[in-house]
A and B are shown apart, each in its own frame.
Chain A
Amino acid sequence: MPRKPLLEFTDRGIYCDKGKFYIDPWKPVDSAVITHAHADHAYPGHKHYLAHHLSRQVLLYRLGNISLQTVEYGQKIIKNGVEVSLFPAGHVIGSAQVRVAYQGEIWVVSGDYKVNDDGISTPFEPVKCNHFISECTFGMPVYHWKPQIQIFNEINSWWRANLDHDLATVLVGYSLGKAQRILQNLDLFNGKVYTHGAIENINQALRNSGVWLHPTERITSSTPRDEIRKGIVLAPPSAAGSAWMRKFGPHNLGYCSGWMAIRGAKRRRAADRGFILSDHADWDGLISAIEATSCEKVYLTHGYTATFSRYLNEIGFDAREVHTLYGGEEEENMVKDDVLNSDETKVFPATGDLEGAGVL
């Protein structure tokens, strides 16, 4: 009888029967290994969580008082005889690929990833495996990212031009990951950085984890409008077009997202300016990452899964689509709406990977 695969796809998430644990499950389970703290991967309600050290404070902030064990990249944990270890995914600070090994059979779950170094997340590290479970949010050949230095030069000169034209500058990026990546690359000689509460809460959680971030100021009802107008505002996508944003007076609204690569998608978001900046791998990035694993089989969880798996099969990989509830173009899940609302009400700001959900 052929051996049961080490990992399987269930209606609760990716499951290891041998080790009795799930990876990024979307329904409550006893034992969950979490790739990163975005809401579509880190759901509430599990009995026990395992994640990377740098995700600790963000997970506690978002999910409350959970039972959480955190580890370093490369550190080995044995669960019922199955070896589990985390490797950098380069997606956001603390994001990890999960390597699962048992009797020579190796699986890697990528979570979300990008292959280019963003200067703030630990850079992506290819891990050799037999089975690679990959995302493909931007798995279409029309997506090619430029080096981020080029994008940040555009952003900083846009900010300067706004200051010259007496316009406030508001830049939108999701709270965990994009916001910090932007923050660390802003030209602070232009002015101060003001943050929306949802972003500042994450900043605080990361600082508590020992991450050094540029100074920021949380916007409150008493922050003087004229001061804000001399700086730059970082806001989550849900704030775009809101009353909160209108109080800054005449402003220019910039969006940072991989979706800005397509003119129609950019126009739909009604931003003044779109910057093509993504925390996911582009077409070439995905293919190079998959090649580097030397895997025998590829499973595609979310994004343009149908197109991308067909192409991978044509160029010689054994690839297939699998059904998950992770954010993504083809199988966007309803949780995203709740995520947006929660960010607005700030009761439970469990911001997900809005870029992966196609929202940003």
Chain B
Amino acid sequence: MKAFAQLFLSLDETNKTNEKVKILKDYFISVPDSDKMHMLALFTGRKPKRQINATLIRNWAIEASNIPAWLFEESYHVVGDLAETMSLLMPPNTSGSNKTLTEWIAEINTLGHKIEEERKLWLIGSWAMLDTQERFVFNKILTGGFRVGVSQNLVIKALADIAGLEAATLTHRIMGSWMPETYQYKQLIAEQGIADDISRPYPFFLAYPIQETSERQRSAEELKGVLGDASHWQAEWKWDGIRAQMIKRDGKIFIWSRGQDLATDKFPELHPFLNALADGTVIDGEILSFRGGLPLPFNVLQTRIGRKNLNKKILEESPVAVIAYDCLEYAGEDIRPKKQSERRHVLEQLQAATAFPEVFRLSALISFNSWEELAVIREQSRSMIAEGIMLKRKSATYQVGRRRGDWWKWKIDPLSVDAVMIYAQKGHGRRADLYTDYTFAVWDGDQLVPFAKAYSGLTDQEINKVDNFVKRNTIEKFGPVRTVKPELVFEIGFEGINRSTRHKSGVALRFPRILRWRLDKPKEEADTLDTLKALLGG
């Protein structure tokens, strides 16, 4: 654990990419293989199962810190991270421990069989033998909230260098669900990949935004300048559902979300079509709710995500289907190196042969002859219930991750309204102890009605100014939330809007964020609820 805690500290102590890769390599070289796999699991979001419930951990930490519970909560709002708060509040350790990361995780995993009193004794005892930094990473593992300031790509780059493998190969080998207890480092880096896990998905190829960070629209002319002749490109609608990879191998089916969650059980409607596919077939596509052959807005799909049990009512109200984009494996062969147009041909044949065309749909190609023409078609996106247009170079292979060049997303302008900030709350992580999470309202007569929360879109400098405003203009405090004097106006952008009975305003927004601070607008000139409702459409 000492090496792992030091790794965390060292990564925190530099902002330079090369330095981070070096630190990661040093770590990999110095620890046993089993620690390497545990680190890899943690750094790629495979958190161990939580063995003690968070409330108990919190209560025992309060006890160990010997402070009142309210002060612990206040401290948490200042620190913005539970694991770190606990590690800072406890008295210094009284002894030390040389257990490895593997040994600690093994101990944690046995807790499931113990009674509460035993767990508590174990936890208090463990805290007492770890220093502040070790305690911090230990708490992170225990509470499962493991986020590091280093991307998976960097970790893979470091490990690929050491193992002498291509980064793309390694990325593929760590996809899917594996346990660091059983997946051996030797297997991971074996020269010939072992066809060990039939459920393993391929890394997703992600599109790069045409607009990049700015919200400024690109003209057809600019597109031509960057992408060249329109005839080299294939265009499809950009659907707003759940990006998924569907696998049929050895008579078994697997549905993976982009976040690498195995979601096979969540979509029973798709099972018949997947079961009917030949073994050794992998399809990339978007899962959406459909009715009468038409896609429904994302919020309909949202009602069934996260449900443990899919009852009949939900399946009837929000039936799903797949819009297939691509075929990655055919007849057991990885066809990702083939051209886009060739893979498209394979996909079309697969779809033509299906007995389930209602659920196995093809992402239609948009026919266009020039960028100008496509720009006009793109204006219809919202009525198509699409987010914009996807552009794929016809000669492109299926690549790994988000990269510039062959796949682009050309989204439509977000909808927007001008709204007044009325509540503020402190942020987490690097925004800890700063008021960065805001609630916005629009006018309904002379009342301000809250309709959206957003916590991104401002520069650091603007955040400092708003934070300052909040601290000086607080009307009331409700726990961590402050009611703020309504004064500041912001332009709020969002991708979609739907009716909602759960919100006071009667609407729910998709991806709300701050587009800009309207310093030029007094609060009286913010938009009204009627303006917002007019965006609902028919």
Contact = CB atoms under 8 A, between A and B. Distances in A.
Nearest 10 CB-CB pairings of A with B = A264-B432, A267-B430, A142-B88, A268-B430, A264-B80, A307-B74, A264-B430, A142-B75, A264-B429, A273-B13
Contacts of B187: none
A332 interface: yes
A270 B431 contact: no
B162 interface: no
A262 B67 contact: no
B15 A272 contact: yes
Interface string B72-114: 0011001111001100110000000000000000000000000
B68 interface: yes
A141 B67 contact: yes
A264 B74 contact: no
A270 B433 CA distance: 16
Contacts of B59: none
Interface in A245-284: 261-268, 270-274
A266 B15 CA distance: 11
Contacts of A310: 70
A332 B432 contact: no
Contacts of B430: 264-265, 267-268
Interface string B2-27: 00000000001111100000000000
Contacts of B460: 268
B49 interface: no
A19 B400 CA distance: 75
A140 interface: yes
A311 interface: yes
B71 interface: yes
A231 B170 CA distance: 43
Given A141-B65, A262-B78, A272-B14, 16 more contacts: A140-B75, A141-B88, A142-B79, A142-B88, A262-B84, A262-B88, A263-B81, A263-B432, A264-B80, A265-B430, A265-B433, A267-B12, A267-B149, A274-B13, A307-B74, A311-B68
A140 B12 contact: no
A141 B433 contact: no
A331 interface: yes
Nearest to A330: B471
A261 B428 CA distance: 15
Contacts of B308: none
A289 B402 CA distance: 55
Interface residues of B, number: 33
A267 B71 contact: no
Given A142-B85, A272-B14, A307-B71, A264 B79 contact: yes
A141 B70 CA distance: 12
A264 B433 CA distance: 8
Contact of A262 (B13, B16, B70, B79): B79
A268 B430 CA distance: 5
A310 B434 CA distance: 21
Contacts of A270: 15
B471 A332 contact: yes
Interface string A307-321: 100110010000000
Contacts of B219: none
A113 interface: no
A188 B433 CA distance: 37
Contacts of A144: 88
B434 to A, nearest CB: 8
B471 A264 contact: no
B472 interface: yes
A304 B71 CA distance: 12
Interface string B418-437: 00000000001111111000
A314 B68 contact: yes
B370 interface: no
A274 B84 CA distance: 16
Interface in A333-358: 334
